[in-house]
Amino acid sequence: MIDWLRRSPGDPTVDIAGRTLPVEINRNRRARRLTMRLAPDGSAVRVTLPNWFRTAEALAFVHARTAWLAEQIAKVPERRPPAPGGMLRYRGAELAIDWRADAPRTPALADDRVTIGGPHDNLPARLQRWLEREAMRLMASDLAFYAERAGIETPKLALSRAQRRWGSCSTAGIVRINWRLVQAPDAVRRSVVAHEVTHCLHFDHSPAFHAALATIFEGDISAADTWIKAHGRTLYASFG
């Protein structure tokens, strides 16, 4: 998973279907060809380049494929804020939102539903806070597990609300994981945590990094990456 650079006012843009999107350029010395994709929330066009590839040629590639990008934008899920009687994604499952006037304001999970009371107008915010607490609890456990497997001290964990990255690891050893991954299947969330723990050993995507990740993560990295590519956008549908 690529840690995308922060945008700046001088970033190139492209006009697609009446929208102007930034074009985020990432140079990767291991890349053998240009690849292009849309950010999960449809907010940017991401281009990965080999070091030798000219930026001008990459931008020409983007502008020549606006029709394809428009098709991808059309596939971005429509925003559906959680509401009484609706559904909430949690650990790969769909929970029924059971709002009751006499229920506590704090969400309570039971079987395939989450029960919650309180006013309607801030229901999405309270459900998001609950999901973020669950994300911190689960990811802290994941982080400790993979740090032990990697033979390192458990790094500090911080939740991220980033719009274009799932995880990152700073040179100071702080691991940040996108809280939205609490909505994904456990194996997908854990693969991202394992990926960032591996960066504590190898701060790159070298063969040594991938070999270490294969040892640290007990699941199928390829399957987890495939899930994120296919369904990652859906994790932005409820809370943006």
Please give the Cα distance from 50 to 42 (Å, whole number). 24
**3-class SS of residue 214:** helix
Reported as a single tens digit per residue, the pLDDT across 21-79 is 999 998 888 788 898 988 877 888 989 989 888 999 999 999 999 999 998 888 877 77
Residue-level pLDDT at 5: 40
Q: What φ, ψ does residue 123 adopt, rounded to 5°?
A: -60, -50
| Other CB atoms within 10 Å distance of the CB of residue 27 | 15
Q: What is the pLDDT of residues 95-119, one digit of tens each?
A: 999 999 899 999 999 989 999 999 8
User: pLDDT for 153-179, tens place per residue?
Assistant: 999 999 998 876 899 998 888 999 999
Cα–chain-centroid distance for residue 174? 17
Please give the pLDDT value at position 10. Answer: 61
pLDDT digits (tens, 9 = 90+) for 131-154: 999 999 999 999 999 999 999 999
User: Where exactly are the structural domains of the chain?
Assistant: 13-74, 87-236
Three-class DSSP category at 195 = helix
The token pair that represents 92 in the structure block:
């790969």
Whole-number pLDDT of residue 150: 97
pLDDT, greater one: 203 or 3:
203
The Cα 200–Cα 181 span in angstroms is 20
E strand or H helix that includes residue 93: strand 93-99
pLDDT band at 3 (very low <50, low <70, confident <90, very high): very low
> Per-residue confidence at 1, pLDDT binned at 50, 70, 90?
very low
- What are the pLDDT digits (tens) for 188-213? 999 999 999 999 999 889 999 999 99
Query: What average pLDDT does the structure give for the chain?
Result: 90
Residue 15 — pLDDT band, cuts 50, 70, 90?
Answer: very high
Residues in the chain: 240
CA atoms within 13 A on the CB side of 226: 5
Residue 240: name the closest of 33, 42, 32 by CA: 42
| CATH number among 1.10.3720.10, 3.40.50.1970, 3.40.50.300, 3.30.2010.10, domain 87-236 | 3.30.2010.10
For position 186, what pLDDT does the model report?
98
What is the distance between the alpha carbons of residues 192 and 185, in angstroms, rounded to a whole number? 11
Distance between CA 238 and CA 182 in Å, rounded?
13
Phi, psi of 129 (to 5 degrees): -60, -40
pLDDT for residue 38 = 86
Is pLDDT of 11 > 80?
no
Q: What strands lie across the sheet with 93-99, from one edge to the other?
A: 87-90, 93-99, 113-116, 108-110
